[in-house]
Structure 1
Amino acid sequence: MFLERICIATDGSDLAVRAAQMGIELARSGAGRIVAVSVAQPYFSMRDEAAEVPDAQAELIRARKAARAHVDTVARIAQASHVDCEALTPLSSAPGPEIIRVAEEYGCDLIVMGTHGPNDANKLFAGSVAQHVLANSAIPVLLLRDPRDAAPPDFPEAHLA
Protein backbone atom coordinates (compact mmCIF):
# COMPACT_ATOMS: atom_id res chain seq x y z
CA MET A 1 0.00 0.00 0.00
CA PHE A 2 1.42 3.36 -1.03
CA LEU A 3 0.59 6.18 1.38
CA GLU A 4 -0.11 9.41 -0.48
CA ARG A 5 -1.90 11.26 2.32
CA ILE A 6 -2.17 10.45 6.01
CA CYS A 7 -4.78 11.87 8.38
CA ILE A 8 -3.33 12.53 11.81
CA ALA A 9 -5.97 13.06 14.47
CA THR A 10 -4.75 14.89 17.55
CA ASP A 11 -6.22 15.96 20.86
CA GLY A 12 -3.06 17.55 22.21
CA SER A 13 -2.12 14.74 24.56
CA ASP A 14 1.46 13.46 24.78
CA LEU A 15 0.33 10.21 23.17
CA ALA A 16 -1.28 12.13 20.29
CA VAL A 17 2.00 13.96 19.69
CA ARG A 18 3.87 10.64 19.62
CA ALA A 19 1.27 9.29 17.18
CA ALA A 20 1.75 12.41 15.04
CA GLN A 21 5.50 11.84 14.98
CA MET A 22 4.91 8.27 13.81
CA GLY A 23 2.41 9.37 11.15
CA ILE A 24 4.77 12.05 9.87
CA GLU A 25 7.59 9.51 9.63
CA LEU A 26 5.29 7.27 7.59
CA ALA A 27 4.37 10.22 5.37
CA ARG A 28 8.06 10.89 4.70
CA SER A 29 8.35 7.43 3.18
CA GLY A 30 5.38 8.09 0.88
CA ALA A 31 4.18 11.21 -0.85
CA GLY A 32 4.94 13.33 2.20
CA ARG A 33 1.50 14.83 2.78
CA ILE A 34 -0.61 14.83 5.92
CA VAL A 35 -3.90 16.26 7.06
CA ALA A 36 -3.77 17.18 10.75
CA VAL A 37 -7.20 17.32 12.37
CA SER A 38 -8.22 18.33 15.87
CA VAL A 39 -11.93 18.53 16.47
CA ALA A 40 -12.94 21.68 18.34
CA GLN A 41 -15.21 20.17 20.94
CA PRO A 42 -17.09 22.68 23.11
CA TYR A 43 -18.33 21.60 26.53
CA PHE A 44 -21.56 23.08 27.75
CA SER A 45 -22.82 22.15 31.20
CA MET A 46 -24.81 23.85 33.92
CA ARG A 47 -25.23 22.87 37.51
CA ASP A 48 -28.75 23.16 38.92
CA GLU A 49 -27.62 25.82 41.32
CA ALA A 50 -25.83 27.89 38.66
CA ALA A 51 -26.90 31.52 38.89
CA GLU A 52 -25.93 32.49 35.38
CA VAL A 53 -26.06 30.96 31.95
CA PRO A 54 -22.65 29.81 30.61
CA ASP A 55 -21.08 32.03 27.97
CA ALA A 56 -21.53 29.93 24.82
CA GLN A 57 -19.41 32.22 22.66
CA ALA A 58 -16.50 32.06 25.10
CA GLU A 59 -16.70 28.26 25.14
CA LEU A 60 -16.67 28.07 21.35
CA ILE A 61 -13.62 30.35 21.26
CA ARG A 62 -11.89 28.19 23.90
CA ALA A 63 -12.60 25.00 21.96
CA ARG A 64 -11.36 26.46 18.67
CA LYS A 65 -8.17 27.86 20.30
CA ALA A 66 -7.39 24.48 21.87
CA ALA A 67 -7.93 22.63 18.59
CA ARG A 68 -5.80 25.17 16.69
CA ALA A 69 -2.97 24.74 19.20
CA HIS A 70 -3.10 20.96 18.74
CA VAL A 71 -2.89 21.07 14.93
CA ASP A 72 -0.23 23.78 15.07
CA THR A 73 1.96 21.39 17.08
CA VAL A 74 1.54 18.70 14.42
CA ALA A 75 2.22 21.25 11.66
CA ARG A 76 5.50 22.30 13.33
CA ILE A 77 6.64 18.67 13.55
CA ALA A 78 5.68 18.11 9.90
CA GLN A 79 7.50 21.26 8.77
CA ALA A 80 10.67 20.17 10.58
CA SER A 81 10.42 16.85 8.71
CA HIS A 82 9.73 18.52 5.33
CA VAL A 83 6.24 17.01 5.14
CA ASP A 84 3.35 19.05 3.69
CA CYS A 85 0.61 19.57 6.27
CA GLU A 86 -2.92 20.85 5.96
CA ALA A 87 -4.37 21.70 9.40
CA LEU A 88 -8.10 21.48 10.09
CA THR A 89 -10.15 22.27 13.19
CA PRO A 90 -13.78 21.34 12.51
CA LEU A 91 -16.34 22.05 15.23
CA SER A 92 -18.29 19.05 16.55
CA SER A 93 -19.48 17.46 19.77
CA ALA A 94 -18.65 14.03 18.30
CA PRO A 95 -14.98 13.83 17.26
CA GLY A 96 -15.00 10.23 15.98
CA PRO A 97 -17.38 10.74 13.05
CA GLU A 98 -15.75 14.07 12.24
CA ILE A 99 -12.27 12.49 12.01
CA ILE A 100 -13.62 9.87 9.61
CA ARG A 101 -15.41 12.53 7.54
CA VAL A 102 -12.24 14.61 7.19
CA ALA A 103 -10.11 11.58 6.27
CA GLU A 104 -12.61 10.53 3.59
CA GLU A 105 -13.09 14.06 2.24
CA TYR A 106 -9.34 14.60 1.85
CA GLY A 107 -8.71 11.18 0.29
CA CYS A 108 -6.47 9.90 3.08
CA ASP A 109 -4.97 6.42 2.84
CA LEU A 110 -4.43 6.01 6.60
CA ILE A 111 -5.65 7.51 9.88
CA VAL A 112 -3.10 7.72 12.69
CA MET A 113 -4.08 8.55 16.27
CA GLY A 114 -3.46 7.73 19.92
CA THR A 115 -5.88 5.59 21.90
CA HIS A 116 -6.36 7.75 24.99
CA GLY A 117 -7.19 11.43 25.09
CA PRO A 118 -6.98 14.04 27.83
CA ASN A 119 -10.73 13.90 28.47
CA ASP A 120 -10.78 10.19 29.29
CA ALA A 121 -11.30 10.39 33.04
CA ASN A 122 -12.36 6.76 33.36
CA LYS A 123 -10.21 3.94 31.95
CA LEU A 124 -13.41 2.01 31.15
CA PHE A 125 -14.32 4.63 28.55
CA ALA A 126 -10.78 5.62 27.58
CA GLY A 127 -10.16 5.51 23.88
CA SER A 128 -13.82 5.74 22.86
CA VAL A 129 -12.99 8.15 20.01
CA ALA A 130 -10.28 5.80 18.75
CA GLN A 131 -12.65 2.84 19.11
CA HIS A 132 -15.30 4.66 17.09
CA VAL A 133 -12.83 5.50 14.32
CA LEU A 134 -11.45 1.96 14.26
CA ALA A 135 -14.92 0.39 14.16
CA ASN A 136 -16.46 2.74 11.58
CA SER A 137 -13.72 3.82 9.19
CA ALA A 138 -13.33 2.23 5.79
CA ILE A 139 -9.83 3.77 5.78
CA PRO A 140 -7.14 1.76 7.61
CA VAL A 141 -6.41 3.04 11.13
CA LEU A 142 -3.10 2.93 13.01
CA LEU A 143 -3.55 3.34 16.76
CA LEU A 144 -0.70 4.15 19.08
CA ARG A 145 -1.27 2.89 22.61
CA ASP A 146 0.47 4.13 25.73
CA PRO A 147 2.87 1.34 26.75
CA ARG A 148 1.98 1.97 30.41
CA ASP A 149 -1.57 0.80 29.64
CA ALA A 150 -0.41 -2.54 28.27
CA ALA A 151 -1.01 -5.56 30.45
CA PRO A 152 2.05 -7.69 31.23
CA PRO A 153 2.19 -10.97 29.31
CA ASP A 154 0.27 -13.80 30.94
CA PHE A 155 2.67 -16.76 30.94
CA PRO A 156 1.99 -19.91 32.92
CA GLU A 157 4.62 -20.56 35.58
CA ALA A 158 5.84 -23.70 33.73
CA HIS A 159 7.02 -21.69 30.74
CA LEU A 160 9.25 -19.40 32.79
CA ALA A 161 11.81 -22.07 33.68
Structure 2
Amino acid sequence: MWANAYLEQARSDWDTRKLIAENACAACHELHYLQMTAEKLGKAVLLRSGTTNLDSVNRTHKAFVRFLRVAAKNPGLRQALQFNIRQLHAYVKEILPVADQIERLAPTLARDGPNAEYPWETPSGEVKVPASYAFPVEKDLRGPHGRKLLKLIDFVLDKFEALF
Protein backbone atom coordinates (compact mmCIF):
# COMPACT_ATOMS: atom_id res chain seq x y z
CA MET A 1 0.00 0.00 0.00
CA TRP A 2 2.66 2.57 1.02
CA ALA A 3 4.96 1.48 -1.79
CA ASN A 4 2.14 2.19 -4.25
CA ALA A 5 1.51 5.61 -2.71
CA TYR A 6 5.18 6.57 -3.00
CA LEU A 7 5.23 5.24 -6.57
CA GLU A 8 2.18 7.25 -7.58
CA GLN A 9 3.71 10.44 -6.21
CA ALA A 10 7.08 9.67 -7.83
CA ARG A 11 5.34 9.33 -11.21
CA SER A 12 3.56 12.65 -10.69
CA ASP A 13 6.84 14.35 -9.71
CA TRP A 14 8.52 12.85 -12.80
CA ASP A 15 5.76 14.19 -15.08
CA THR A 16 6.12 17.61 -13.46
CA ARG A 17 9.90 17.51 -13.96
CA LYS A 18 9.36 16.83 -17.66
CA LEU A 19 6.92 19.74 -17.99
CA ILE A 20 9.37 22.07 -16.29
CA ALA A 21 12.20 20.90 -18.57
CA GLU A 22 10.07 21.51 -21.66
CA ASN A 23 9.28 25.06 -20.56
CA ALA A 24 12.80 26.34 -19.89
CA CYS A 25 12.31 27.25 -16.24
CA ALA A 26 15.23 27.78 -13.88
CA ALA A 27 17.21 24.55 -13.54
CA CYS A 28 16.61 24.37 -9.79
CA HIS A 29 12.95 23.51 -10.42
CA GLU A 30 13.73 20.57 -12.67
CA LEU A 31 16.40 19.41 -10.21
CA HIS A 32 13.98 19.75 -7.31
CA TYR A 33 11.42 17.52 -8.99
CA LEU A 34 14.12 15.09 -10.07
CA GLN A 35 15.34 14.83 -6.48
CA MET A 36 11.80 14.29 -5.23
CA THR A 37 11.10 11.68 -7.91
CA ALA A 38 14.30 9.85 -7.06
CA GLU A 39 13.63 9.88 -3.33
CA LYS A 40 10.04 8.64 -3.65
CA LEU A 41 10.94 6.02 -6.24
CA GLY A 42 13.69 4.82 -3.93
CA LYS A 43 11.27 4.60 -1.03
CA ALA A 44 8.73 2.70 -3.15
CA VAL A 45 11.33 0.14 -4.18
CA LEU A 46 12.75 -0.25 -0.68
CA LEU A 47 9.28 -0.77 0.78
CA ARG A 48 8.23 -3.18 -1.96
CA SER A 49 11.44 -5.19 -1.69
CA GLY A 50 11.07 -5.50 2.08
CA THR A 51 14.54 -4.09 2.77
CA THR A 52 13.13 -1.43 5.10
CA ASN A 53 9.96 -0.44 6.91
CA LEU A 54 7.71 2.60 6.72
CA ASP A 55 9.10 4.20 9.87
CA SER A 56 12.66 4.05 8.49
CA VAL A 57 11.59 5.35 5.09
CA ASN A 58 9.75 8.30 6.60
CA ARG A 59 12.78 9.38 8.66
CA THR A 60 15.25 9.73 5.81
CA HIS A 61 15.88 11.41 2.49
CA LYS A 62 18.53 8.82 1.69
CA ALA A 63 16.58 6.33 -0.40
CA PHE A 64 17.70 6.78 -3.99
CA VAL A 65 21.26 5.46 -3.78
CA ARG A 66 20.02 2.59 -1.59
CA PHE A 67 17.38 1.82 -4.22
CA LEU A 68 20.06 1.63 -6.92
CA ARG A 69 22.06 -0.83 -4.83
CA VAL A 70 18.95 -2.98 -4.40
CA ALA A 71 18.12 -2.63 -8.11
CA ALA A 72 21.60 -3.86 -9.05
CA LYS A 73 20.64 -7.22 -7.55
CA ASN A 74 17.16 -7.41 -9.09
CA PRO A 75 16.91 -10.29 -11.59
CA GLY A 76 13.74 -8.85 -13.11
CA LEU A 77 15.44 -5.55 -13.87
CA ARG A 78 18.48 -7.33 -15.23
CA GLN A 79 16.29 -9.38 -17.58
CA ALA A 80 14.17 -6.40 -18.64
CA LEU A 81 17.31 -4.43 -19.54
CA GLN A 82 18.82 -7.52 -21.20
CA PHE A 83 21.95 -7.28 -19.06
CA ASN A 84 24.00 -9.98 -17.42
CA ILE A 85 24.87 -9.58 -13.74
CA ARG A 86 28.18 -7.88 -14.41
CA GLN A 87 26.65 -5.44 -16.90
CA LEU A 88 23.93 -4.37 -14.48
CA HIS A 89 26.45 -3.90 -11.65
CA ALA A 90 28.68 -1.83 -13.97
CA TYR A 91 25.69 0.24 -15.14
CA VAL A 92 24.67 1.04 -11.57
CA LYS A 93 28.27 1.73 -10.51
CA GLU A 94 28.61 4.29 -13.34
CA ILE A 95 25.49 6.21 -12.36
CA LEU A 96 25.94 6.16 -8.57
CA PRO A 97 28.01 9.39 -8.40
CA VAL A 98 25.31 11.31 -10.29
CA ALA A 99 22.60 9.66 -8.17
CA ASP A 100 24.44 10.74 -5.03
CA GLN A 101 24.53 14.34 -6.27
CA ILE A 102 20.79 14.23 -6.96
CA GLU A 103 20.06 12.76 -3.54
CA ARG A 104 22.13 15.50 -1.85
CA LEU A 105 19.97 18.22 -3.42
CA ALA A 106 17.48 17.62 -0.60
CA PRO A 107 17.90 20.55 1.81
CA THR A 108 18.31 18.25 4.82
CA LEU A 109 21.18 16.39 3.16
CA ALA A 110 22.73 19.51 1.62
CA ARG A 111 22.89 21.04 5.09
CA ASP A 112 24.27 24.55 4.53
CA GLY A 113 25.25 23.89 0.94
CA PRO A 114 23.68 23.91 -2.50
CA ASN A 115 20.15 22.57 -2.63
CA ALA A 116 17.42 22.97 -5.22
CA GLU A 117 14.86 24.48 -2.88
CA TYR A 118 16.14 27.17 -0.49
CA PRO A 119 18.80 29.92 -0.49
CA TRP A 120 21.95 29.12 1.50
CA GLU A 121 25.01 30.97 2.75
CA THR A 122 28.52 30.02 1.65
CA PRO A 123 31.37 29.84 4.19
CA SER A 124 32.51 33.26 2.96
CA GLY A 125 29.12 34.79 3.77
CA GLU A 126 27.71 35.00 0.24
CA VAL A 127 24.02 34.14 -0.07
CA LYS A 128 23.25 31.83 -3.00
CA VAL A 129 19.83 31.40 -4.59
CA PRO A 130 18.85 28.13 -6.30
CA ALA A 131 17.11 29.96 -9.17
CA SER A 132 20.37 31.60 -10.27
CA TYR A 133 22.88 28.96 -9.15
CA ALA A 134 24.73 26.78 -11.66
CA PHE A 135 24.48 23.33 -10.09
CA PRO A 136 27.41 21.09 -11.12
CA VAL A 137 25.02 18.15 -11.47
CA GLU A 138 23.31 19.92 -14.41
CA LYS A 139 26.36 19.21 -16.55
CA ASP A 140 26.62 15.65 -15.26
CA LEU A 141 22.99 14.97 -16.17
CA ARG A 142 23.73 15.93 -19.78
CA GLY A 143 26.70 13.55 -19.87
CA PRO A 144 26.55 9.81 -20.55
CA HIS A 145 26.13 8.74 -16.92
CA GLY A 146 23.43 11.32 -16.28
CA ARG A 147 21.53 10.26 -19.38
CA LYS A 148 21.78 6.63 -18.25
CA LEU A 149 20.44 7.58 -14.84
CA LEU A 150 17.47 9.47 -16.29
CA LYS A 151 16.75 6.60 -18.66
CA LEU A 152 16.78 4.11 -15.78
CA ILE A 153 14.43 6.24 -13.67
CA ASP A 154 12.01 6.51 -16.59
CA PHE A 155 12.24 2.76 -17.24
CA VAL A 156 11.67 1.76 -13.61
CA LEU A 157 8.76 4.18 -13.21
CA ASP A 158 7.16 2.72 -16.33
CA LYS A 159 7.77 -0.97 -15.50
CA PHE A 160 7.72 -0.83 -11.68
CA GLU A 161 4.89 -3.30 -11.12
CA ALA A 162 6.56 -5.94 -13.30
CA LEU A 163 10.00 -5.40 -11.75
CA PHE A 164 9.32 -5.15 -8.02
If the length of structure 1 is used for normalisation, what is the TM-score?
Answer: 0.29
Structure with a larger share of its residues in strand: 1
Structure with a larger share of its residues in helix: 2
- Structure having the higher Rg: 1
